[in-house]
Structure 1
Amino acid sequence: MTFHPQPQAGQPKPWAFPAPERGALDNGLTVLHCHRPGQQVVAVEVLLDAPLEAEPAGLDGVATIMARALSEGTDKHSAEEFAAELERCGATLDAHADHPGVRVSLEVPASRLPKALGLLAEALRAPAFADAEVGRLVRNRLDEIPHELANPQRRAAKELSKELFPAALRMSRPRQGTEETVARIDAAAVRAFYDAHVRPATATAVVVGDLTGTDLAAVLAETLGSWTGGTGEAFPVSPVTADDTGRVVIVDRPGAVQTQLLIGRIGGDRHDRVWPAQVLGTYCLGGTLTSRLDRVLREEKGYTYGVRAFGQVLRSTADGTGASMLAISGSVDTPNTGPALEDLWKVLRTLAEGGLTDAERDVAVQNLVGVAPLKFETAAAVASTLADQVEQELPDDFQAQLYARLADTGTVEATSAVVNAFPGDRLVTVLVGDAGQIAEPVRALGIGAVTVVAN
């Protein structure tokens, strides 16, 4: 019997996060583009300087309604016609609002890029904001809110933001508004917000994909270059402040068989020099199935299907006024809520006393750095990360340098960063569960004053 020779692995090719090329259109729009051969689905991200903090008092959620309404009709097409034109291009167009601003995302086959960019430009240049369409979006949003409040994870996130941030700070309130504020939004309010904050001079477009045979400069000039608007400065945002005094808030849900936990505080943003070490240390703590938290709470004790630790940038600014959310999230069965929290705090103490091991550090580097080429296989992943860098006022080579810094970070440095990120006495704990069963066991732990609030 003759066997074919066993295939052998080839030599690994060097990889680095792609560097974009920068430019600008005559209307002031900043453009970053990145040619990615073989990526036949082109991704476009447009960043609008319309942060949630810019929403008028009492109209929380207007940025979200505006973002959703951008594709609901223009001066040339009704909502149905605009959707049909996108479908003919094989394109998808989405938009969402967050603390840094509004992000508009387009994906389209490379062969249809000019047509799709024309539709994107139309949505940005002349959205209709028809009364009927805005009214429908408002009603949809009002329908979503009860479902979000019924979701334990969403409810915990809402309560943590309310606890951490002062009431005057926009970050203390739901990103997409409350029932009271959304109900006040109409087409006039959406138009006013658009007129005040959406203009090419303060916007950035990121284009990533296979641009072979595409005169991108000419296409952009004909499409996004037709978008006009006045000049303006970036919207000034307030410094992020928070109170992370150790305490516990229980959102009471009588009869709940599980307790949703969210433990958090505020840390520095990606401009902080310890960010790479913090990423590495946090991954060792709770970034994967083999992390410290999962090993104890899931594998040894069987309290949960999984617990994760993470750092999420809320707003990142070069002047140091930004912040990230450092958090631990998961769910445990109700009777074991107290023991699970006790063991979680024990993991944090053990980490501070004994530190991470070299093996933990090596696995984390392998997982974070080694899989990066797979993570950024698609144009959309690259475009989103480049847009994040622009939004967070980071240099264009930040992601590439981050991987190099992660690989160079030692065990001691990663330990110090994660211990400082999650100090046991400076964590706000939110529990969504049956207060009647969990309140007393949690009080007995001594991890902070316990307050019970209604669901």
Structure 2
Amino acid sequence: MTAVARPVVAPPEPWDFPTGTTHELSNGLRLVTYDVPGQYVVSVRLGLPVSLRDEPRELEGVASIMARTLDEGTADHSAEEFARLLERKGVSFGAGMADSGLSVDLDVVKGNLEPALDLLRQILTEPVFPQAEVARQMRTRIAEIEQERSVAAHRAGLEFVRTFYAPDDRSSRPTGGTRETVSAITREDVAAFHARHVVAAGVTVVVAGDLEGLDVPTLVERALGGWDRGPGDRETHLQHAAALAPDRSRIVLVSRPGSVQTEFVIGAPGPDRSVEGGWAPYPVLGFVLGGSPNARIDAVLREEKGYTYGIRSSFRPRRRGGVFLTSGSVRADSTAESLRLLVEILESGRDGFRDTEVRSGVDFISKTAPGRYATADAIADEAVSMALDGRTTEFTTANLRDLATVDRDRVQAAYDRFARGAGIGDGAPGAGWTIVMAGDAGAHLKDLEALGLGDVTVVTDP
């Protein structure tokens, strides 16, 4: 028998995010195209830098209602007619508001890109916001508010932002508004918000897919070149960091009598992507602490103790500032012990990191990147996300290259910088963290207070 030499497996070559081509339209719109051969469903993404802080305080939620009703009828088509047009052309459409801005998603087969862009033009520039459709979306939002109060994870998340951010900061209140503010919205309010803020200046449009044979810049210019630029000195509140509550470092327990699980949301101020020392160590740090089933948190609370199905941690950057969040649920009978362990694990970074766990995080994030960005929609999503953060995908490539240099020392420096900025470890264990739980207060309050992590405020819903 002839022996066959074992093939040599070489290390993977450095990978770059696909290179886009940028075009500037005369009305201030920026177009970025990515030619992805073989991807015959073309993804169009639009990012508009409008802030939730642009909403009138008494009408919070109007931006979300506006986004939901953009395709509910235009100057030439009723809501039903427009829905049939989208279906006939094979167009998938969606829009939504977030802290980063207004995002519009459109996917269409390559051959129908031109008519799809015309439909996008109508959605952006000619929506009529029928009274019946606005009212329907308002009812839907109010129903969602009730649903959010009934689901422990949502309820804990709402209480977290209320505790973490300053009361007068928009971030302390739900993105989609409250029952009171949504109920006050009128069709005229929606139309006025659209007229003032949905303009071309500062908008980024990304088109990704198999673009061979398509003159995408001409098609986009034809469809959106006439979109009104808007005020030349358009102000955006996206440049401002959210204000934090002066008493954010505390423990809040939302009372849910009889709950068989306790939901945790634990957070602290985190960095944005412009952080000193580079952004690359922070996703690795989040991965090591609680970013995977093999991370420190699950190794103890899931594998060793059996308290949870899984708890996750991550750094979530905004354009200015950010937040580090840990969230998940545990068995009710393990509530106090789980909180003690979570705080210990989250603060264990002060004692250092192992080379093996850091390398595991670096390898996972860097080596899965080609797969994460293998499709046109993933490429377009990343590009518009970077645009709303004031960046291009050159940052994505540069960050992946920097990631290869991340070692234990850089992760330690990142943790120390984060902990110092958040006040973690100042004084007693638990200092610096905002800890919110949703669970049975009657069953757990005394045990939680006995941990010595601080006073516990109980919130009871009416």
- Please, what TM-score do these two structures have when normalized by structure 1? 0.93
Counterpart contact for 2:158–2:173, Cα < 8 Å: yes
Distance 1:6 1:67, change over 3 A: farther
What stretches of structure 2 of length at least 5 have no aligned partner? 425-429
Give the counterpart of 2:331 among 312, 330, 333: 333
Letter of the aligned partner of 1:310 in structure 2?
S
Mapped pair 1:372 → 2:369 = yes
Counterpart contact for 2:73–2:80, Cα < 8 Å: yes
**Taking every aligned residue pair, what percent have the same amino acid on both sides?**
38
How much does 1:29 deviate? 1.3
How much does 1:232 deviate? 3.0
Mapped pair 1:242 → 2:230 = no
Mapped pair 1:258 → 2:261 = yes
Mapped pair 1:208 → 2:205 = no
Task: Give 1:319's aligned residue.
Answer: none
What stretches of structure 1 of length at least 5 have no aligned partner? 317-321
Counterpart contact for 1:326–1:421, Cα < 8 Å: no
Letter of the aligned partner of 1:429 in structure 2?
I
- Using the TM superposition, name which of 215-224 and 116-125 deviates more: 215-224
Equivalent runs, 1:92-107 vs 2, <5 Å: 92-107=92-107
Task: Give 2:195's aligned residue.
Answer: 195
The alignment of Structure 1 onto Structure 2 pairs a total of residues equal to 446
Distance 1:234 1:410, change over 3 A: farther
Distance 1:277 1:7, change over 3 A: closer
Distance 1:13 1:245, change over 3 A: closer
Letter of the aligned partner of 1:431 in structure 2?
M
How much does 1:177 deviate? 0.4
How much does 1:234 deviate? 3.7
Letter of the aligned partner of 1:152 in structure 2?
A
Task: Give 2:297's aligned residue.
Answer: 293
SS at match of 1:201: coil
Task: Give 2:306's aligned residue.
Answer: 302
SS at match of 1:413: helix
- Using the TM superposition, name which of 7-16 and 230-239 deviates more: 7-16
Distance 1:381 1:123, change over 3 A: same
Task: Give 2:427's aligned residue.
Answer: none
Distance 1:254 1:216, change over 3 A: same
How much does 1:156 deviate? 1.0
SS at match of 1:85: helix
- Please, what TM-score do these two structures have when normalized by structure 2? 0.92
Task: Give 1:390's aligned residue.
Answer: 387
Distance 1:14 1:270, change over 3 A: closer
Task: Give 2:439's aligned residue.
Answer: 433
Task: Give 2:153's aligned residue.
Answer: 153
Task: Give 1:403's aligned residue.
Answer: 400
SS at match of 1:141: helix
Q: Distance in 2 between matches of 1:9 and 1:76?
A: 60
Distance 1:12 1:450, change over 3 A: closer
SS at match of 1:34: strand
Q: What do residues 103-137 of structure 1 show as CA deviations (whole Å, max 9, x unaligned)? A: 11111111111111110011001001111111111
Task: Give 1:138's aligned residue.
Answer: 138
SS at match of 2:225: helix
Task: Give 1:59's aligned residue.
Answer: 59
SS at match of 1:118: helix
Task: Give 1:447's aligned residue.
Answer: 453
How much does 1:345 deviate? 2.0
Q: Distance in 2 between matches of 1:446 and 1:11?
A: 49
Counterpart contact for 2:45–2:104, Cα < 8 Å: yes
SS at match of 1:73: coil
Task: Give 2:410's aligned residue.
Answer: 413
Distance 1:245 1:10, change over 3 A: closer
SS at match of 1:308: strand
CA-based RMSD: 2.1
Counterpart contact for 1:50–1:63, Cα < 8 Å: no
Q: Distance in 1 between matches of 2:328 and 2:179?
A: 27
Q: Distance in 2 between matches of 1:271 and 1:260?
A: 32
Give the counterpart of 2:270 among 267, 273, 280: 267
Counterpart contact for 1:42–1:207, Cα < 8 Å: yes
Counterpart contact for 1:42–1:110, Cα < 8 Å: yes
Task: Give 1:165's aligned residue.
Answer: 165
Q: Distance in 1 between matches of 2:14 and 2:164?
A: 43
Q: Distance in 2 between matches of 1:379 and 1:392?
A: 20
Task: Give 2:75's aligned residue.
Answer: 75
SS at match of 2:195: helix
Counterpart contact for 1:45–1:387, Cα < 8 Å: yes
Counterpart contact for 2:270–2:324, Cα < 8 Å: yes
- Using the TM superposition, name which of 409-418 and 365-374 deviates more: 409-418
Q: Distance in 2 between matches of 1:273 and 1:432?
A: 35
SS at match of 2:59: coil
After TM superposition, the runs of 4+ consecutive aligned structure 1 residues lying more than 4 A away are 5-14
Counterpart contact for 2:31–2:217, Cα < 8 Å: no
Counterpart contact for 1:282–1:418, Cα < 8 Å: no
